[in-house]
Amino acid sequence: MTALQIVSAWDADEIVALYRAGGWWKEAWTPEGIAPLIAGSFCFIVATEGEQAVGMGRAISDGCSDAYLQDIVVLPACRGRGIGAAILEALVAFCRKRGLTWIGLIAQPGTAPFYEREGFAVMEGHVPMLLEEYHAHDR
C-alpha cells in the first residue's frame, strides 16, 4: 500500500534516485543539497511503499497567493497506479487549505493530459521562460 507523507527531511539518496527517475538530476549537484531543498519547500510530499520512497512532489510558494508545483515524479516501476495523481491532489489540497488562489506548474512534454485529468489547463498565451545563463549550463 502506498502512503503519502508531508516531510521536512528525508533520506537524500532516495530523493536523488527520484530526481534521476525524472531525468532532472544534474551531475554537478550533490546529495547535500537535498536537505535544504526539502526544508525550503512550502510543502514536500514523499510517497512510500513500505520503507522505500517511490514518488515525490513539492510546492514552492510565498504562502500568501501563488504556488508552483514541481518535481512530481514516481519511480518507473510504480507508475500507472495513481501515485502521481495522489501526490498532485495532496499538494493542491495543502495549498488550497492555506488559501492560495493560484496554483500552477510547468509540465514536461507529453504530460499535459495527466495534468488536465487532474483539473489543470494549458495557459494559452503564456510562455515559460528560463534565464539563459542557467539554460546554457544544460547544453
From residue 137, give the alpha-carbon distance in Å to each of 17, 27, 130.
Answer: 22, 11, 12
Supply the pTM of this predicted model: 0.91
pLDDT of residue 89: 98
- What the block records as the C-alpha cell of 124 is 494559452
What mean pLDDT comes out for the span 76-99?
98
pLDDT tens for residues 7-62? 999 999 999 999 999 999 998 999 999 999 999 999 999 999 999 999 999 999 99
Q: What is the pLDDT of residue 134?
A: 60
| Phi and psi, residue 85, nearest 5° | -65, -40
Q: Is the pLDDT of residue 92 over 70?
A: yes
End-to-end CA distance of the chain: 40
pLDDT at 34: 98
Q: How confident is the model at residue 132 (pLDDT cuts 50, 70, 90)?
A: confident
- Cell numbers at residue 29, please? 549537484
Task: Break the chain into its structural domains and give their ranges.
Answer: 2-137
Average pLDDT score over the chain:
94
pLDDT at 136: 58
3-state secondary structure the chain: CEEEEECCCCCHHHHHHHHHHHCCCCCCCCHHHHHHHHHCCCEEEEEEECCEEEEEEEEEECCCCEEEEEEEEECHHHCCCCHHHHHHHHHHHHHHHCCCCEEEECCCCCCHHHHHHCCCCCCCCCCCCCCHHHHHHCC
- Name the CATH architecture for the domain at 2-137: 3-Layer(aba) Sandwich (3.40)
65-78 tens-digit pLDDT: 999 999 999 999 99
